[in-house]
Structure 1
């Protein structure tokens, strides 16, 4: 847990001094100013000498914070709905989404380390102001949708474990700002340690539940094979887009390009190249863990609800209630609720950090973390409270799925600029993405845009 500083004040001179040591490639409209998350910038020491595993260990952490976004409560709702409705069929979407995520997150590490800018800063320094403001609004919508899923998921977890009414649980989630402040006070490594510990709990909970469910592993393997039904069935496409939005999340692209700069990797070209390689390994390992957990949620739903003929599961509360009779164990629903609560707490941390990066990067506006978090959480709490009061508990699942579709619709506004920047030699210099990587990323962006257009057309055409 080695950190040079835990000072989070934007006025701290140390991060600015470190930032000035990293020369920038030409091609940006303005010189880079103070970095986002200034108090954490280059705060984690890395190992320049020694065995490979020690070097990698110093870079492990940001990838797991990014992986949190791929298994948040909104993802639970879409995976449970997809598994209960279509069995193992949508596993191929989970796999495809994860491969897309690995490609896009590798571009984020290249941008953050190679160009020394997060995605929000890059947009501000490349596009006209009005375009940058529109992209900022799009990013804020995505963060709000993410936060909405976290609010509902955490409130449901509190309700399932402690029988706290959803309306009160939603309000209690506003107190999570104190968790963020407490962790930040100890340094960035403590934030990473907390997230990894929660991920370990989540993985253990699902491992036990899958052992109880005893799924058809042959059908699981076949579920990873693509099916043409995905485009023919509008309901399946809707859930597939929800899974895509829950997996490749817009705010994660901003988050990762900022978090990789918390490492003190040096200013030389060779040092940066090694840092990019190590950061990519970190994120790839973490995203593989995310795929295992995402697939476990869908497999659990298929092996229990779909097999029992319960194809209408869309609420987390429903899923909890039916687990015990279907698996014949009262432990299963408790494990489900514990994992859900851990997901909500983890997502709280990443949403706070991504919110800071987006605001500071696009607007060059520094706001105290507690104030930024409070404002974002209040925006998410209001619709959550309104929906639970007006429509009751049953509407929360549909709201969760809708939040993930909103995220999917916001994806092109983050993915396209990311691919553009990392493919530009004038902006990236020697760290420009290889042509094959740019091609794969471009195809990924095209698939995302095409799927979103198909969804919008289906809605318009009725």
Structure 2
């Protein structure tokens, strides 16, 4: 194992405390990067982490907000998906820069740079975000199992808790196996939606116009609520921690030149993967707009309800089956990546040292217990409203991850030669303030109702 693709532990370079163990220490630096041969061959070594990140941008919570948005408002919220994706590309590029430039993931960076009370507060907020993420993913997976096999939600929740053993098995084979599992399921999701979109036959002129900005999104409180839900489901706090950890599974070397090349390939990987995520997210909203909004079914918010109506509306019995398969694949993918993010957050903020199986079991339990309780309590009713609420909670938590990320990558003392250029920092800071302003607007509308 390459124990140090970042700076040595005693090289503080502007950090308050030493880092401790490497991020995801059991798989840190285990994916070899060729030092010779054509650049495309070296680039292939970085193919994978971006798709684990992309999973979080198309999870079941995103389905709920996109289906509700498409059913109620047609194609108008497509621009929110586009803008959110652009924000995500920039922020995930900063995550890769932080990891490669400083050798820290975002959780470690916060623990190292801030006093203990601040670090613990950020850890608590990150855990809340992961719990909200897991609620969405547990519900989505359980609904997928219910739609396809008729399993009760309670049984589906228990099955989703077993994903921790899947991660342990795949990582024992090698981290590339985790990435291969995720990418395979993403391929299945893409095929399912391609067929459903073809069956829905949307008005492509309206689709294109849906990517144009409009002030109505900000002035309409209900539309803003769904827009923030889409934002929270797209730019997710746990993804910032996840990406800054899994990038370091690559043994890219110590020199500045090797790190610059690693940053270039890691950024390409995440950008391409997130464009794929935009394609899937847009497909969900387009499907909802074409199948529900255009047929007068504007109040569709439940995933089960959407599944039941697809066959009669699209005139094909295969449509609901494809919907259920894609939802199940999304849920499985998302629970795997959320568990990894939970490990990064717990280890990075608390600097605890546990056996891999125990560490993952604890991080999974922190998220799965409240998620299971909420799912069992709500049952079949109200799950869509709960899914949308979890995404808004994620949006409200987002600023507490974004601002530290921007500050760290802008610091020469922390990043050395890979400090973010001024133009990138300016754009990222603008994004951070836009997210914060939208959240303030959401809270104001909520309390004024």
Aligned to 1:361: 348
Contact map agreement 1:24 1:116 (CA 8 A) in 2: no
Aligned to 1:315: 302
Q: Distance in 2 between matches of 1:161 and 1:195?
A: 20
Q: Distance in 2 between matches of 1:171 and 1:370?
A: 14
Q: Distance in 2 between matches of 1:123 and 1:213?
A: 46
Aligned to 2:377: 386
Give the counterpart of 1:377 among 368, 379, 382: 368
Give the counterpart of 1:224 among 190, 203, 211: 211
User: 1:211 Cα deviation (Å)?
Assistant: 0.5
> Per-residue displacement from partner, 1:300-356 (whole Å, max 9, x unpaired)?
000110010001011100110000000000100000000000001100110111000
Match status 1:178 vs 2:165: yes
Q: Spell out the pairing of 1:34-45 with structure 2 (5 A cutoff).
A: 34-45=21-32
Match status 1:261 vs 2:248: yes
User: 1:170 Cα deviation (Å)?
Assistant: 1.9
Q: Distance in 2 between matches of 1:361 and 1:460?
A: 35
Match status 1:270 vs 2:257: yes
> Per-residue displacement from partner, 1:286-306 (whole Å, max 9, x unpaired)?
000000000000000001100
Match status 1:337 vs 2:324: yes
Q: Distance in 2 between matches of 1:18 and 1:125?
A: 18
- Secondary structure of the residue aligned to 1:322 is helix
Please list every run of 5 or more consecutive structure 1 residues that lacks an aligned counterpart in the other structure.
Answer: 1-13
Aligned to 1:417: 404
Change (3 A) 1:19 1:271: closer
Please list every run of 5 or more consecutive structure 2 residues that lacks an aligned counterpart in the other structure.
Answer: none
Q: Distance in 2 between matches of 1:52 and 1:338?
A: 37
Contact map agreement 2:107 2:349 (CA 8 A) in 1: yes
Match status 1:347 vs 2:338: no
Q: Distance in 1 between matches of 2:129 and 2:190?
A: 26
Runs of 4+, deviation exceeding 4 Å: 14-25
Q: Distance in 2 between matches of 1:329 and 1:117?
A: 50
Match status 1:400 vs 2:391: no
Give the counterpart of 1:142 among 129, 132, 141: 129
Contact map agreement 1:19 1:34 (CA 8 A) in 2: no
- Secondary structure of the residue aligned to 2:295 is coil
Aligned to 1:91: 78
Contact map agreement 2:110 2:404 (CA 8 A) in 1: yes
> Per-residue displacement from partner, 1:70-93 (whole Å, max 9, x unpaired)?
000000000000000000000000
> Per-residue displacement from partner, 1:110-138 (whole Å, max 9, x unpaired)?
00000100000110111111010000000
User: 1:19 Cα deviation (Å)?
Assistant: 6.5
Aligned to 1:211: 198
- Secondary structure of the residue aligned to 1:411 is helix
User: 1:377 Cα deviation (Å)?
Assistant: 1.4
Contact map agreement 2:2 2:251 (CA 8 A) in 1: no
Change (3 A) 1:459 1:414: same
Q: Distance in 1 between matches of 2:178 and 2:229?
A: 28
Aligned to 1:293: 280
Aligned to 1:5: none
Q: What TM-score does the superposition give when structure 1 sets the normalisation length?
A: 0.94
Q: Distance in 2 between matches of 1:403 and 1:190?
A: 30
Aligned to 1:4: none
User: 1:167 Cα deviation (Å)?
Assistant: 2.4
CA-atom RMSD in angstroms: 1.3
Give the counterpart of 1:103 among 86, 90, 94: 90
Contact map agreement 1:15 1:39 (CA 8 A) in 2: no
Contact map agreement 1:25 1:428 (CA 8 A) in 2: no
Contact map agreement 2:9 2:18 (CA 8 A) in 1: no
Q: Distance in 1 between matches of 2:157 and 2:339?
A: 17
Greater shift in the superposed pair: 170-179 or 53-62: 170-179
Match status 1:328 vs 2:319: no
Question: How many residues matched?
Answer: 445
Contact map agreement 2:131 2:367 (CA 8 A) in 1: yes
- Secondary structure of the residue aligned to 2:19 is coil
Give the counterpart of 1:154 among 141, 144, 149: 141
Change (3 A) 1:155 1:294: same
User: 1:371 Cα deviation (Å)?
Assistant: 3.3
Change (3 A) 1:214 1:420: same
User: 1:384 Cα deviation (Å)?
Assistant: 1.2
User: 1:176 Cα deviation (Å)?
Assistant: 2.0
